[in-house]
């Protein structure tokens, strides 16, 4: 028979020392990187130059993850976040890091990806194009909405969850007019009859005004419509309101404007800027000033001549095609989203562009058609989604353009595609990160490839 040990004879707890590490760099995804026992370790909210003690949170075959138990020595580039909910909100990743360090780390991440995926030497990677504003820059935002026990929370999902962290003070990276609009809707939605079904609030701010889409589960009742229409005069600066459910793929207009507009510079400063529009829910860049910086970089890389023919793949609403059309003989734009193509055609008409054509097709089949037509292409400009353009690389090479200008939002798929293009006779001449998303790990870049 086993005897119970007396209470005073319990074995003393053994204190396991926490590993202490120096954070070397940042990874795409936002985490700091160090090594523990020779294995790569990813540490959220760490900063290059920090010396930290860590709690291991997960062990994988080739890496581990950890949380910070204590910052033993603060990095000289560590700074104070602007946002009171930074670290809980899942929107920003790097508010605790100085902006100059963010720019350096983004360049390093892009350079490492291109070296690993396409053997591109680091000296071909340019410095990051800095944003003029580190905060107050974002002109499109999607706020998550949760209404429980008569409490409405509007903000962003907490890190790794679907719980809404309330952004009661607004979002510091949003342009001020978005936060003004959010405050109006926060008050209005408290009494909205359909608030329990609201999941998201999308706010787009342009030169022409502010459009808001209320995303709602289920059907829209007459009572909901009547309530929203009655608010038309009291939601300034909102200039147009839509409501969207699964049954209304494009959204139902409640009142106000039907589209939003912004301006893109022409090559000749004496010319009137191109006026571009897109519909509610349509794609547009989230940082307009850096959108202009990307266009300037594309112009520099393209060095376009009036006898050249430009192919714009994944052209969207003509964001680049329309302002570039005056500099070339012709533009063909191919886009898989029908609404974006309609917007591009509308933009072509209102800007009186006669030498551009837009087609609704996926990039691969659209390129095949151009090959069959023996279409002459001098430059291919492409701005694919995060998954990249792997399925169209062979077709682009078959068109034999002199230059390829690749706009990317993902360094890994850019590197993969540059590697594929290398096998087709194209080499990277230069690549430049354009910081569209300060305070986050997201990296936009423009890469020039030549034969």
For 370, the enclosing helix (H) or strand (E) is helix 363-372
d(CA 70, CA 58): 18
pLDDT, tens digit (0-9, with 9 covering 90-100), for 324-383: 999 999 999 999 999 999 999 999 999 999 999 999 999 999 999 999 999 999 999 999
The pLDDT of 35-49, averaged and rounded, is 96
Using alpha carbons, select from 435, 409, 446, 445 the residue that is nearest to residue 173: 435
| Percent share of the chain, pLDDT over 90 | 91
Domain ranges of the chain: 20-78, 116-131+287-450, 140-260
**What is the DSSP secondary structure assignment for residue 220, as one 8-state letter?**
P
CATH number of this structure's domain 20-78? 2.40.50.140
Q: For domain 116-131+287-450, is the CATH number 3.40.250.10?
A: no
The catalytically annotated residue of 184, 360, 409, 450 is 409
Cβ atoms of 163 and 156 closer than 8 Å: no
pLDDT at 248 over 70: no
- Phi, psi of 390, rounded to the nearest 5 degrees: -60, -35
377-436 pLDDT tens trace: 999 999 999 999 999 999 999 999 999 999 999 999 999 999 999 999 999 999 999 999
Q: Kindly report the average pLDDT of the chain as a whole number.
A: 94
pLDDT recorded at residue 428: 98
Q: At what angle do helices 411-422 and 99-118 cross, to 10 degrees?
A: 30
Say if residues 178 and 139 touch (Cβ distance below 8 Å). Answer: yes
CA-CA distance, 390 to 85, in Å (whole number)?
38
Is residue 7's pLDDT more than 60?
no
* Whole-number pLDDT of residue 150: 78
Q: pLDDT tens digits for 56-110?
A: 999 999 999 999 999 999 999 999 999 999 999 999 999 999 999 999 999 999 9
Q: In this structure, what is the dihedral angle of CA atoms 84, 88, 90, 95, given to the nearest 10 degrees?
A: 50
Q: Is the pLDDT of residue 5 over 50?
A: no
Three-class DSSP category at 9: helix
Mark whether 409 is an active-site residue: yes
Whether 116-131+287-450 and 140-260 share one fold: the answer is no
> Helix (H, G, I), strand (E, B), or coil: what is residue 301?
helix
pLDDT classification of 19: cutoffs 50, 70, 90 = confident
Partners of residue 142 on adjacent β-strands: 202
- Give the span between the Cα atoms of 190 and 362, in whole angstroms: 43
**Phi/psi of residue 73, each to 5°?**
-140, 120
- What is the model's pLDDT at position 2? 44
User: How many residues can be counted in the chain?
Assistant: 451
Residue 126 confidence (pLDDT) above 60 = yes
Burial class of residue 126 (count of CB atoms within 10 Å of its CB; 0-12, 13-18, 19+): middle
The CATH code that applies to domain 140-260 is 2.40.50.1070
């Amino acid at each position: 028979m086993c005897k119970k040990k007396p209470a005073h004879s319990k074995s003393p707890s053994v204190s396991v020392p926490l590993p202490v590490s120096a954070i070397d760099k940042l990874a795409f995804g936002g985490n700091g990187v160090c090594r523990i026992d020779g294995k790569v370790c990813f540490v959220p909210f760490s900063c290059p130059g920090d010396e930290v003690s860590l709690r291991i949170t997960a062990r994988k075959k080739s890496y581990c993850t950890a949380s910070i138990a204590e910052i033993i020595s603060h990095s000289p580039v560590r700074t104070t976040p602007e946002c009171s909910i930074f670290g809980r909100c899942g929107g920003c990743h790097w508010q605790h890091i100085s902006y100059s360090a963010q720019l350096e780390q983004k360049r390093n991440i892009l350079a490492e990806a291109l070296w690993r995926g396409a053997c591109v030497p680091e000296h071909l990677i340019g410095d990051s194009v800095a944003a003029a504003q580190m905060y107050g820059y974002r002109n499109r935002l999607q706020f998550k909405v949760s209404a429980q026990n008569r409490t409405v929370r509007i903000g962003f999902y907490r890190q790794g969850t679907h719980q809404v962290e309330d952004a009661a003070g607004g979002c510091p990276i949003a342009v001020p007019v978005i936060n003004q609009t959010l405050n109006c809707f926060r008050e209005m939605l408290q009494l909205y009859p359909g608030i329990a079904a609201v999941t998201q609030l999308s706010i787009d701010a342009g030169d022409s005004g502010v459009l808001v889409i209320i995303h709602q589960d289920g059907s829209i009742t007459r009572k909901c419509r009547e309530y929203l229409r009655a608010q038309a005069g009291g939601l300034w600066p909102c200039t147009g309101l839509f409501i969207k459910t699964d049954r209304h793929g494009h959204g139902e207009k409640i009142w106000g404007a039907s589209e939003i507009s912004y301006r893109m510079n022409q090559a000749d400063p004496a010319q009137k800027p191109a006026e571009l529009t897109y519909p509610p829910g349509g794609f547009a860049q989230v940082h307009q000033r850096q959108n202009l910086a990307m266009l300037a970089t594309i112009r520099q890389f393209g060095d376009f001549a009036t006898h050249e023919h430009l192919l714009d793949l994944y052209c969207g609403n003509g964001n680049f095609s329309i302002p570039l059309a005056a500099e070339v003989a012709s533009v063909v734009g191919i886009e898989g989203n029908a609404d974006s193509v309609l917007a591009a055609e509308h933009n072509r008409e209102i800007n009186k562009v006669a030498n551009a054509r837009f087609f609704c097709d996926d990039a691969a089949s659209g390129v095949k058609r151009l090959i069959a037509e023996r279409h002459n292409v001098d430059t291919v400009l492409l701005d694919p989604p995060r998954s990249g353009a792997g399925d169209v690389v062979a077709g682009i090479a078959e068109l034999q353009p002199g230059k390829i200008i690749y706009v990317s939002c993902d360094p890994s798929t850019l590197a993969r595609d540059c590697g594929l293009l290398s096998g087709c006779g194209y080499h990277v001449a230069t690549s430049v990160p354009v910081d569209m998303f300060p305070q986050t790990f997201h990296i936009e870049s423009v890469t020039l490839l030549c034969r």
